[in-house]
């Protein structure tokens, strides 16, 4: 009986995590630090990832990433995000949900700041 109860709790937790509401843009969008620059591609896929340059730690990098996402997609919400590794690069793919209900992925190269406190 305990195993069934634990299994039920685990499934309920997974369903809740999977159905979390998408993250909207903050009311005030903080701009990235002045030394941050964006390079690479348009992020349409990881072969054309947006590269965040100049971030010395994750806080700076994530702030720049969010600014890029929401300044170019103001009515979107972040539905999910995932970090992966490809050819020695750390990549983060952010899945957006647009105001019209369509989904779009944006890939960032986060190699320069990933894992740096």
Ranges of each domain in the chain: 2-109
Between strands 50-53 and 103-109, the pairing is parallel
* The residue count for the chain: 117
pTM, 2 dp:
0.79
Name, in order, each residue with C-beta under 8 angstroms of 84's C-beta and a sequence gap of 6 or more.
Answer: 46, 90, 91, 92, 93
Q: What is the pLDDT of residue 15?
A: 38
Q: What is the pLDDT of residues 46-95, one digit of tens each?
A: 999 999 999 999 999 999 999 999 999 988 999 999 999 999 999 999 99
Q: What is the pLDDT of residues 18-32, one digit of tens each?
A: 447 888 888 888 899
Q: What is the pLDDT of residue 21?
A: 83
């Amino acid at each position: 009986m305990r195993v069934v109860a634990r299994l039920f709790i685990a499934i309920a937790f997974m369903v809740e995590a999977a159905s979390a509401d998408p993250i909207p843009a903050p009311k005030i969008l903080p701009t990235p630090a002045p030394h941050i620059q964006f390079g690479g591609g348009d992020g349409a896929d990881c072969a054309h990832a947006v590269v965040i340059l100049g971030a010395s730690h994750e806080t700076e990098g994530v702030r720049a990433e969010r600014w890029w996402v929401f300044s170019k997609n103001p009515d979107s919400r972040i539905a999910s995000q995932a970090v992966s590794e490809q050819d020695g690069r750390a990549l983060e793919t952010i899945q957006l949900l647009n105001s019209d209900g369509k989904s779009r992925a944006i890939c960032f190269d986060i190699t320069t700041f990933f894992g740096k406190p």
